[in-house]
Amino acid sequence: MSRGVVYVHSAPRALCPHVEWAAGRALGRAVNFDWRPQPVLPGAHRTEYTWEGPRGTGALLASALRGWEHLRYEVTEDAGLGTDGGRWMHTPDLGIFFAQTDTAGNTVVPEDRIRAAMEAAGSDAFELHRQLRVALGHAWDEELEPFRYAGEDSPVIWLHKVG
């Protein structure tokens, strides 16, 4: 068995019941999410749902939610004995990104991906930096970050290049 979390960072109100239905199909049981307004995007709603299921359920959930144009979400699946975990991130502009995770939740970049980044970059340090940011899903993190922390009781504070 495995467990993880579905974070729907923003969904139009009309899409919310469809998201629940899709997640329920992936989990094999009906689910009811606790939807709250998403202050970063007026008219959108957010939720998070802790799930348990067989190994691979995270991939099923991420696939079930994929394809809706206005949906921002993340799905995590915890690592287990002998298996890596996973993290799927989706934004309307970037599509879906998958990364393996270790038992602490850190992104694991496979050796072949690092070697490919090094080969593509050659001796260009800036290109290597860009390639590694792609491998880590940096663009998805940047787009989702304001949505992650914007709850009813937490004001959104936009910071630009602090420090």
The label of the residue with tokens 């304001």 reads 146
pLDDT per residue as tens digits for the range 77-92? 999 888 899 999 999 9
- Give the pLDDT score at 152: 52
- The confidence score (pLDDT) of residue 81 equals 84
Strand partners, 99: 87
Q: What pLDDT does 159 receive?
A: 47
Instruction: Map out the domains of the chain as residue ranges.
Output: 2-108+138-150
Structure tokens at 81: 């004995």
pLDDT band at 160 (very low <50, low <70, confident <90, very high): very low
Rounded to whole angstroms, how far apart are CA atoms 107 and 136? 7
C-alpha span between 28 and 51 (Å, rounded): 11
**83 DSSP assignment:** B
Higher pLDDT: 154 or 89? It is: 89
